[in-house]
Amino acid sequence: MSSYLLSRILQAIMTLIVMSVLVFVGLYMIGNPVDVLLSPSATPAERLEIIQAFGLDRPVWEQYLLFVSKALTGDLGNSFVFNQPALDLILQRMPATLELAFTALLMALVIGIPLGIRAGLRPDGLVSKSIMTFSILGFSLPTFWIGLIMILSFSVQLGWLPASGRGDTVDIFGVPVSFLTLNGWTHLILPAFNLALFKISLVIRLTRAGVMEVMQLDFVRFARAKGLTEHRILRVHVLKNTLIPLITVIGLELGSLIAFAVVTETIFAWPGMGKLIIDAIAVLDRPVILAYLMITVVMFSLINLLVDILYSVVDPRVRLEGASR
């Protein structure tokens, strides 16, 4: 177990280093941020001052080492635009994004698993066919377009739900959250459902496939032969074996939800870090782009690591396979 854990941690660290180099070198090669920061009428002296202030006159590798040593102490540079620490900017907006992502994940599970089980138990029924058609639509409809249609129907036409922002927030341990106020909920529900739609379809398909596969296995037939009720077979034997593979997927999907929140946040003007990164890319605010990417990469590596560990706990075959290799 410990050797498995160690190799996974090492791999996560390697990924981090490679990603940081790629992102840094990549960003260094595009446009000159000095042009963005300065007005066209700036004197050469002002120009030089800016270049020195941001360390843009040093060699790439020196800038990178400086960046890494600072990053390890939590200093990812100041935003060119806001003139605030980039890390602070992102951390301020992170709770909003996480709230959105977790709500969406919860929706995907609460809606997706029951529908998937239903579709898996009687795959040929009309209800199951309708569920599967819905899931094809969920895969096919582009998230951003559904968001637009939601705004058009529920906000512009019907006027039921607000189209933008977070609404009233309540502080929990100093972190503002929307889901504790009614007004916050009305703001949260549309974007969260929008973000969840794709994942609902995914969870439906995975659950259905899992249930269909497990139902054919010998131990289910044996449980039936023992005279167990269908309900007990489903709850104890089928569900347990279906949900294990779902753990991996759900873990990875949380990361994907955080990444795809970029789209939903842009449409619903949700003040999360996704909106921040799109604005930062438009004006080439390098420190913010870097900080966002580094934070998401760290988050991803952590999530992947946790999923791997969790998976090896619930399914010992995984770590045994790793040890024998």
Cβ at position 30, least distance to another protein in Å: 6
Q: Within a 13 Å sphere around the CA of 167, how many CA atoms are in the beta-carbon half?
A: 19
**What is the spatial distance between Cα 4 and Cα 156, in angstroms, rounded to a whole number?**
54
Cβ at position 251, least distance to another protein in Å: 10
Confirm or reject binding of residue 71 to another protein (CB under 8 A).
Answer: no
Nearer CB in complex with another protein: 169/275 = 275
Annotate each residue in 145-174 with x if it binds another protein (CB under 8 A) or - if it does not, as one string: x--xx-xx---x------x-----------
Q: Which two tokens stand for residue 254?
A: 């949380």
Residue of the chain from 118, 166, 187, 205 that contacts another protein (CB under 8 A): 205
Residue of the chain from 1, 10, 30, 323 that contacts another protein (CB under 8 A): 30
| Amino acid making up residue 42 | A
Torsional class of 159: left (φ above 0), alpha (ψ -120 to 50), beta (otherwise):
left
- C-alpha separations of 91 from 74, 192, 221 in Å: 11, 20, 52
Q: Which two tokens stand for residue 325?
A: 């290799």
Cβ at position 243, least distance to another protein in Å: 14
Annotate each residue in 109-138 with x if it binds another protein (CB under 8 A) or - if it does not, as one string: ---------------------------xx-
Cβ at position 19, least distance to another protein in Å: 9
Q: Which two tokens stand for residue 151?
A: 């705004």
User: Which of these segments, 100-108, 170-178, 224-232, 291-299, binds another protein (CB under 8 A)?
Assistant: 291-299
Q: Which residue has the tokens 């941020």?
A: 33
Read off φ and ψ for residue 194, nearest 5 degrees.
Answer: -55, -45
Q: CB burial class (10 A; 0-12, 13-18, 19+) of residue 167?
A: middle
Residue of the chain from 21, 26, 160, 240 that contacts another protein (CB under 8 A): 26
* Residue 7 CB neighbours (<10 A): 14
**What is the spatial distance between Cα 273 and Cα 89, in angstroms, rounded to a whole number?**
8
- Tell me which residues in 251-290 interact with another protein (CB under 8 A): 252, 255-256, 259-260, 262-263, 266-267, 277-278, 281-282, 289
Q: Which two tokens stand for residue 11?
A: 């791999």
Closest CA to 281 of 293, 267, 268, 271: 293
User: Which of these segments, 29-37, 44-52, 84-92, 173-181, binds another protein (CB under 8 A)?
Assistant: 29-37
Strands (E), the chain: 170-172, 175-177
User: Which of these segments, 55-63, 82-90, 141-149, 215-223, binds another protein (CB under 8 A)?
Assistant: 141-149
Residue of the chain from 154, 194, 270, 308 that contacts another protein (CB under 8 A): 308
Confirm or reject binding of residue 23 to another protein (CB under 8 A).
Answer: yes
Largest separation between any pair of C-alpha atoms in the chain: 88
- Interaction site with another protein (CB under 8 A): 11, 15, 22-23, 26-27, 29-31, 136-137, 139-145, 148-149, 151-152, 156, 163, 205-206, 208-209, 212-213, 245, 248, 252, 255-256, 259-260, 262-263, 266-267, 277-278, 281-282, 289, 293, 296-297, 300, 304, 308
